[in-house]
């Protein structure tokens, strides 16, 4: 027993000595690490210090603003005058306070960096090298500026859901005047905005195309401007549930939009409801018109499909204009989900802003008549945006947002009444040639 106690006491002494030596060793390592810690070689890179002397903004952008408006438009999708108007709106939001340590990047440069990213989709590091900024700084600027663009343009009325019966009637009148479809409240469609797999959330945004995305559901008016958008739903949802689960779909289905009551349509005694027009992906309802299935159709049904397609093509062109002008949609976006949503919102807001400017400023090149599809007595001329359609790899169509072969008798009756109208008192001369080519 005594022998065992001696061995135990010896063990405790050795253990205490070992712990003392171990702690001493760790202390020496920490002290050595502090003494050997590498000093920073510089406070700021020389490239960044010379941003206001040698950066792209100083050497190129200001020069283009003064002497080459066409090149300025190619860079930012707007002329200098429009750029100044936009800067005036969002400048106070993105202006930073000066400090003793360094001069902050001005709101003018912040807007330039953000627009350059949205119009090219270039990597942050590429844009940063051109403007004399770090990739991290570029990313932060884009996030802040995109949110400001959405908030301020929405506040200014460029993104504004029609409010009241008269506002909806105005849209319907424009649809009838331009696209020969009465009682149309807008064209509706949805897109997947593709992105790289987000950290710790990849499964939530993994869609049927084996990519990751958020959903952009939208309605547009007859002038290629968005009237309602729902941005940010998870791409994981089946396409059949996208519309039903969206705020936009909920508002339409539950009659929350204060749309006009049924009325008599032009040159006819028919009293019909106001409707949204969509493609075959949508379900046929009293307030939602879709084409007849393309199989063994009669002449009158072909006419209806053509007239519906002519009006519905407006939303297709609206998405096409956006993705062609803002090439951030030409490839999946590398960013976290909140930033992807902010980028998409900014593009939608800028599109409406520039389309509105286009109406009052005839010098605007954002959407000339040749840029969109032209369909009428002189035939169908595809818009110039379609030249980029094959390389728009960052945005994809939603295949089925709730289409069903089962629909109520009232929905069937409404479609048949529009069909009868388009083939009789509401006919246009060239429609027969169109369906003749389709046969």
The predicted-structure confidence for 29-53, as pLDDT tens digits, reads as follows 777 765 555 555 545 666 666 666 6
Q: Are 69 and 138 in the same domain? A: yes
Residue 39 in any domain: the answer is no
Confidence of residue 439 (pLDDT cuts 50, 70, 90): very low
- Model confidence at 355: pLDDT above 80: yes
Distance (Å, rounded) from C-alpha 375 to C-alpha 415? 22
Mean pLDDT of 98-122: 88
Distance (Å, rounded) from C-alpha 170 to C-alpha 256? 18
- Model confidence at 185: pLDDT above 90: yes
How many other C-beta atoms lie within 10 A of the C-beta of residue 289?
25
pLDDT tens per residue across span 61-88: 888 988 899 999 999 999 999 999 999 9
Mean pLDDT of 251-280: 93
pLDDT tens per residue across span 385-418: 999 999 999 998 887 655 556 678 999 999 999 9
Name the DSSP letter for residue 292.
Answer: P
- Model confidence at 3: pLDDT above 80: no
CB 181 within 8 A of CB 308: yes
**Residue 25 confidence (pLDDT):** 74
pLDDT tens per residue across span 423-434: 999 999 999 988
Q: Are 342 and 208 in the same domain? A: yes
Q: Are 128 and 214 in the same domain? A: no
Q: Are 66 and 175 in the same domain? A: no
SS3 368: coil
Check residues 224 and 295 and name the one with the higher pLDDT. Answer: 224
Which residue shows structure tokens 């050595």? Answer: 32
Q: Are 212 and 254 in the same domain? A: yes
Q: Are 203 and 111 in the same domain? A: no
Question: Pick from 155, 173, 188: which residue ends a domain?
Answer: 155
Name the DSSP letter for residue 369.
Answer: G
Q: Are 114 and 189 in the same domain? A: no
Those residues with Cβ within 8 angstroms of residue 97's Cβ, 6 or more apart along the chain or in another chain: 104
Residue 275 in any domain: the answer is yes
Those residues with Cβ within 8 angstroms of residue 344's Cβ, 6 or more apart along the chain or in another chain: 193, 214, 216, 231, 232
Kind plus residue range of the DSSP H or E element containing 220: strand 212-220
Residue 16 in any domain: the answer is no
Q: Is the pTM of this model over 0.75?
A: yes
Question: Pick from 129, 155, 181: which residue ends a domain?
Answer: 155
Residue 5 in any domain: the answer is no
- 402: Cα within 13 Å, side-chain hemisphere: 20
pLDDT tens per residue across span 201-213: 656 566 666 788 8
Q: Are 292 and 341 in the same domain? A: yes
- Model confidence at 220: pLDDT above 60: yes
- Model confidence at 129: pLDDT above 90: no
Which domain covers residue 265, as residue numbers?
165-438
Domains in the chain, number: 2
Those residues with Cβ within 8 angstroms of residue 309's Cβ, 6 or more apart along the chain or in another chain: 291
Q: Are 209 and 332 in the same domain? A: yes
Residue 160 in any domain: the answer is no
Q: Are 111 and 213 in the same domain? A: no
Q: Are 132 and 277 in the same domain? A: no
Residue 279 in any domain: the answer is yes
**Residue 209 confidence (pLDDT):** 65
Question: Pick from 137, 155, 173: which residue ends a domain?
Answer: 155
Question: What's the gap between Cα 244 and its chain centre?
Answer: 20
Residue 395 in any domain: the answer is yes
**Residue 438 confidence (pLDDT):** 44
Q: Are 145 and 278 in the same domain? A: no
**Residue 62 confidence (pLDDT):** 84
Residue 19 in any domain: the answer is no
Residue among 351, 270, 273, 346 at smallest CA distance from 317: 351
DSSP secondary structure string for all residues of 144-210: HHHHHHHHHHHHTTSS----SHHHHHHHHHHHHHHHS-TTEEEEEEEEEEEEPPPTTTGGGGB-TTS
Distance (Å, rounded) from C-alpha 221 to C-alpha 84? 27
């Amino acid at each position: 027993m005594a022998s065992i106690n001696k061995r135990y006491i010896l063990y405790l002494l050795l253990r205490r000595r070992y712990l003392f030596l171990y702690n001493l060793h760790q202390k020496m390592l920490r002290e050595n690490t502090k003494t050997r810690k590498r000093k920073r070689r510089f406070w700021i890179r020389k490239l960044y210090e010379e941003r206001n002397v040698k950066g792209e903004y100083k050497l190129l952008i200001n020069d283009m603003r003064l002497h080459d408006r066409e090149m300025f438009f190619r860079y930012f999708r707007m002329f200098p005058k429009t750029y100044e108007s936009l800067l005036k709106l969002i400048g106070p939001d993105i202006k930073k306070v000066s400090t003793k340590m360094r001069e902050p990047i001005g709101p003018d440069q912040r807007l330039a960096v953000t627009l350059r990213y949205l119009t090219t989709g270039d990597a942050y590091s590429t844009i940063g090298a051109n403007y004399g900024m770090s990739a991290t700084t570029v990313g932060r600027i884009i996030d802040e500026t995109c949110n400001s663009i959405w908030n301020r343009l929405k506040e200014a009325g460029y993104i504004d859901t029609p409010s009241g019966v008269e506002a909806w009637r105005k849209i319907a009148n424009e649809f009838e005047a331009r696209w020969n479809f009465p009682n149309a409240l807008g064209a509706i469609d949805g897109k997947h905005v593709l992105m790289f797999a987000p950290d710790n959330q990849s499964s939530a945004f993994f869609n049927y195309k084996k990519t990751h995305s958020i959903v952009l559901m939208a309605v547009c008016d007859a002038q290629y401007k968005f009237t309602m958008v729902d941005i940010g739903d998870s791409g994981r949802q089946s396409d059949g549930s996208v519309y039903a689960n969206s705020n936009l779909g909920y508002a339409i289905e539950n009659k929350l939009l204060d749309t006009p009551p049924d009325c008599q349509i032009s040159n006819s005694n028919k009293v019909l409801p106001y409707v949204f027009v969509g493609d075959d992906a949508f379900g046929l309802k009293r307030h939602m018109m879709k084409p007849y299935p393309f199989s063994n159709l009669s002449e009158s049904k072909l006419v209806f499909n053509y007239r519906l397609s002519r009006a519905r093509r407006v939303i297709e062109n609206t998405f096409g204009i956006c993705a062609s002008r803002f090439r951030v949609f030409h490839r999946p976006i590398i960013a976290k989900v909140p930033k992807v949503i902010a980028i998409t919102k900014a593009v939608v807001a800028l599109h409406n802003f520039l389309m509105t400017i286009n109406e009052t400023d005839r010098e605007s090149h954002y959407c000339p008549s040749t840029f969109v599809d032209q369909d009428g007595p002189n035939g169908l001329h595809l818009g110039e945006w379609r030249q980029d359609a094959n390389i728009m790899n960052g945005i994809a169509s939603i295949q089925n947002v709730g289409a069903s072969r089962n629909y109520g008798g009232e929905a069937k009756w409404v479609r048949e009444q529009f069909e009868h109208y388009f083939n009789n008192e509401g006919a246009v001369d060239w429609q027969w040639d169109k369906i003749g080519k389709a046969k």
